[in-house]
Amino acid sequence: MKKNRQLNQWLWKWHFIAGLISLPFIILLSITGGLYLFKADYEASKHKDIKEVVVQGAPISLQQQWEIANKNAIKKPNTMILTSAANQATEFISGRFGGKSSLYVNPYSGAVSGEIITRDTTMFKIRKLHGELLSGKFGTKIVELIASWMMVLILTGLYVWWPDRGRKIKGVFIPRMNEGKRTFYRDIHAITGFWISGLLLLILAGGFPWTDVVGENFKQLQKITNTGYPATWKGHQLQSKDKGDALTLDQMAAKAEDLQLPGTVMIHFPKGPKSVFSVSNVNPSDLNTQKKIHFDQYSGQQILSNNWDDVGILMRGRMWVMAFHQGEFGAWSWWLMLLTAIALTIMSISALVSYVMRKRKGNWGIPKVPVTFKIGYGIMVSIVILAIVFPLFGISLLLIISTEYLRAKIKKS
C-alpha cells in the first residue's frame, strides 16, 4: 500500500505528542498491572495462616459460626463463602470493593483465625496505584485520560508502522539488528506495538468500565437500553412470607450445595424479616454458568432464579472484557496478560530510549508537518468520534490545539 506521506507525517506528529503525554504513565500502568496479576498467589501465601486450619474432628454448625462472625466482625457480615475443602476457614464478608472485609472462623474450634481488611492489603494499594495513581477521583481521571490517548497511540502507530510497497520483513515484522542502536530500539518499539496492538485495544476496553467518565456514560447507556442486570438480580424487591422460624444457615448451605454451581459460591444473608436468602456464584472462566437464585428465608422455597442469559448484552460484554483485562479466563489468559504487560513495558522503554537518541539539545523533536497539509474528512470524523466516546481525550485535544494556535499567533506578532 502506497501511503500518503504528508498524512503519515501528521499522524506521526500526533503519535509523538501522545507518547510524550502518556509514556511514563503507561510504563507505570503496565508494571502495576503485571504485578496485580499475582494477587491470588501472593495473598494465598501471605494469608495462609488465616485461611487454612487444622482439621480437628467434626465442625460446629454454620449457624454458630455466623453468630461468632456477627460478634467479632468490624461490620456485620452480609455474605458467606461456601468452603470447598475441609482445611479451609469459613469466610464471612462485610461490605464491597474497597470497603470489603473478610472475617475467617475456624469451623472446628469456633475461634476467629483472622480478619482481612481489603483496603489495608498490599495488592489493594497496587490496584489503587494502577487505577487511580493513589490520588482518588483526580487520579482516576488521569488514568482515563492516559488510556484514551493510548487508543490514539495504537491507531496512529499502526498507520505509521504500515509498510510502504517494497519493504522487507526486517524492520517491519522483526527488528533490524545491524543498523545501529537507534534503529534497533525504534524497531523494538514499532514491531512490538504491531504484534500486541489488537490485544492492547481489548485490554483497554476491559479497563474503561472502571473509569469515571467513559465508565459512567456506559452505565447510563445500559440503563437507557435496559441491557444491564435485570431488576430482579439483587432481589431487593422480593419478599419472604413470614411463617415461623427462619432457615438455619446450615439448611440454606445444603440448598446452595445441591445447586452444584461452579466457581466461588456465596450465600447472601437476608437484610430483615421480610427479605430473602440469595445464592450466587462467581466463575469468570465461564461467565455463562453464573447465576443468582433467591429463596424464601422461612420455607426455603426458590422464589426466583436469574441465569446469565437474563443479563443484558452490554453488561455481559462489559463483564467479559473486564474478566479478560484481569486474566481470569484460566492459565492461558493469565499468561497472555502477563506477557502483554511485559511487552508493553519493553515497548515503552524502547520508545523513550529511541527518542533520547534522536532528540537534539534544545528541541523537543516533534515531527514537522507541511503547512499545506489539510486534514481529510475521514480523519476529522474519526477524531470527532474518538472525542465523543472518550470525552477527556476530546478536552485535552482542544487544549493542545488551542495552545498551538496561540503560540503561532504570538510568533507572528
Give the pLDDT of residue 147: 95
Give the pLDDT of residue 165: 55
pLDDT tens series, the chain, 413 aa: 567 788 888 888 889 888 888 999 999 999 999 999 999 999 999 999 999 999 998 999 999 999 999 999 999 999 999 999 999 999 999 998 889 999 999 999 999 999 999 999 999 999 999 999 999 999 999 999 999 999 999 999 988 888 775 556 766 778 888 888 888 998 899 899 999 999 999 999 999 999 999 999 999 999 999 999 998 998 888 999 987 889 999 999 999 999 999 999 999 999 999 999 999 999 998 999 999 999 999 999 999 999 999 999 999 999 999 999 999 999 999 999 999 999 999 999 999 898 888 777 767 777 788 878 888 899 899 999 999 999 999 999 999 889 888 887 887 76
Give the pLDDT of residue 405: 82
Give the pLDDT of residue 2: 66
- What is the tens place of the pLDDT at every residue in 246-282? 999 999 999 999 999 999 999 999 999 999 999 999 9
Give the pLDDT of residue 161: 86
Q: Set out the domains of the chain in order of their start, with CATH numbers.
A: 7-37+129-220+375-412 (no CATH), 45-125 (3.10.450), 229-311 (3.10.450)
The reported pTM is: 0.89
Give the pLDDT of residue 168: 67
Q: Are 287 and 316 in contact (CB under 8 A)?
A: yes
Give the pLDDT of residue 368: 83
